[in-house]
Structure 1
Amino acid sequence: MKIALATILVVALAFAALTAWGAWKWRGLTQSLVDRLEASRVAPSPARFDAQELAGLPPVVQRYFRVTMPDGAPIVAAVTVEHTGTFNLGETVDNWTPFSSYQRVVTRRPGFVWDGRMNLLPGLGVRVHDAYVAGEGVLHPTVLGLFTLMELRGTGAVAEGEFMRFFAEAAWYPTALLPSQGVRWEAVDERSARATMTDGGLSLTLTFTFDAQGLMESVRADARGRTESGKIVMRPWEGRWSNHQWREGMRVPLSGEVAWLLPPEEGGRKPYWRGTIRSLSYEWAPY
């Protein structure tokens, strides 16, 4: 009995030490990504929103900016976000798991680092980096921050998918969608418009839809890279935003759901992320 208890104690101490080591190592990897993100950062220009720049935009887009921010609002330079929610780990069968996360965003040069945390089993944590840094995409899930489950990095399809995430999540930092920040808009219909954003050699066009009040309702891509059986397959993709509230002078959605739009024979619309912003803090362009 004493030997068994001693063995359990040794195993528990070893697991605790492994967990602490993994947390320390993961913090270092996260900080390295954030440091690279900050090193690529430049100040947005101009430093304030001038409503005159809306002239010529589709009416639905003009209405969106007018209900989202006042004339003269400062331009967002960086954002710190914390989320809670659930993530669907199942590729074919739903497996929703709670997560919490920290995210750092800079708007010029566009990029972000997302540090997500969830548990596969009690005490068995999964740590995930999802990032777009200086034109490179990163997707790196691990167990305990030590054992890599998958690692995708590069400037091709991985970078495009991560840049797309930055673009879609601009609902949280809407000044990044202004024409003065390099975004081009064209009308689709009374409720939607296409926007194009460029970073280096990447150029993306997404379709944004707005509700009757003019607030952003959804964003859609005709194709985004989805990991299926270890390979990247291009699939239609959609984000839906809700619970718009005023935060530091801008009206932004605090809840969202992201989904793959699969063919009916493959199950149809498949949500995989549902989240709520727990905290949101902005840094503004200097002026």
Structure 2
Amino acid sequence: MADLPRPVRRYFEAVLEPGQRPVRSVRLTQCGEFRPGGVDDPWKPMTATQDYSVDPPGFVWDARVEIAPFLPVRVVDAYESGRGSLRAHLLSTIPVASSDPGPELNEGELLRYLGEAVWFPTALLPDAGVEWTAVDEGSARATIRDGETTASLVFHLDDEGLVKRVTAAERYRQEDGDYAPWTGHFGEYERRDGMALPSKAAVEWNLSEGDCQYWRARLESVDYRY
């Protein structure tokens, strides 16, 4: 820990207790809203269950989005065995969207895993394969590698050493097949199993025409496996 950049040490001192056991896997549930069509579209109610593994890094996000009354879309976003995927089905059976594994999607999904590791912060320790470099007194860059895929994010800390946002200068945007800046916001930290983690989160694309927030949610439950 002593060899880590100062902002990274501040973060781990703020969120981990001495002797904290490393998390091997976690299941969490979320309740919030999703806006797939851009800033002019209304927010849609959403609930989700998400499972993560740390070694190897991976996740499966299984969400239900109510696009209209009694008309749910099931969205499954995943990073498994080094491969990203996205599937959406109307009424759980009718395909409405899909993205197959490829270098851009794989990187984007590993980037998502890295940012969301604030919900199981022992996965951000160097022992879990994350490399840290200082950016300034209040931020540091985290990099993770999984096979041929590499993802990096800048973690920005508040005055208490907690992550308030993560940023990527470029993340692949499937809607237009190009890269764009991306930001994840975190807040309202709570202690669970000895770790401080955010109970609220939101994500957005930072486009030339303005920021486009498309997901926001509250953490409902967390179940850790050590």
Q: What's the secondary structure of 2:196's corresponding residue?
A: strand
Q: TM-score, normalised by structure 1?
A: 0.77
Between the aligned partners of 2:86 and 2:187, the Cα distance in structure 1 is 26
Partner of 1:56: 3
Structure with greater helix percent? 1
Percent identity between the two aligned chains: 40
- Give unpaired runs (5+ residues) of structure 1: 1-53
Between the aligned partners of 1:269 and 1:196, the Cα distance in structure 2 is 25
Q: Determine which of 238, 257, 267 is the counterpart of 2:202.
A: 257
Q: In the TM superposition, what is the alpha-carbon distance from 1:227 to its structure 2 partner?
A: 2.2
Give the RMSD, CA atoms, in angstroms: 1.0
Q: Determine which of 198, 211, 217 is the counterpart of 1:269.
A: 211
Q: In the TM superposition, what is the alpha-carbon distance from 1:88 to its structure 2 partner?
A: 0.8
Partner of 1:120: 67
Q: Determine which of 69, 84, 89 is the counterpart of 1:142.
A: 89
Matches within 5 A, 1:1-287: 54-91=1-38, 93-228=40-175, 231-263=176-208, 266=209, 268-284=210-226
- Give the ranges of 4+ consecutive aligned residues of structure 1 lying more than 4 Å apart after TM superposition: none
Between the aligned partners of 2:189 and 2:19, the Cα distance in structure 1 is 21
Between the aligned partners of 2:23 and 2:65, the Cα distance in structure 1 is 29
Structure with greater strand percent? 2
Q: What's the secondary structure of 1:167's corresponding residue?
A: helix
CA contact (8 A) 2:163 2:186 kept: yes
CA contact (8 A) 2:54 2:128 kept: no
Aligned residue identity for 1:244: Y
Q: TM-score, normalised by structure 2?
A: 0.97
Higher-RCO chain (CA-CA 8 Å, sequence separation at least 6): 2
Q: Which has the larger radius of gyration?
A: 1
Between the aligned partners of 2:39 and 2:198, the Cα distance in structure 1 is 29
Between the aligned partners of 2:37 and 2:55, the Cα distance in structure 1 is 34
CA contact (8 A) 1:259 1:272 kept: yes
Between the aligned partners of 1:183 and 1:125, the Cα distance in structure 2 is 37
Aligned residue identity for 1:140: R
Which whole-Å deviations, capped at 9, do the CAs of 1:132-153 have from their partners, x for residues lacking one? 0101111111101111111112
Q: What's the secondary structure of 2:161's corresponding residue?
A: coil
Q: In the TM superposition, what is the alpha-carbon distance from 1:92 to its structure 2 partner?
A: 5.5
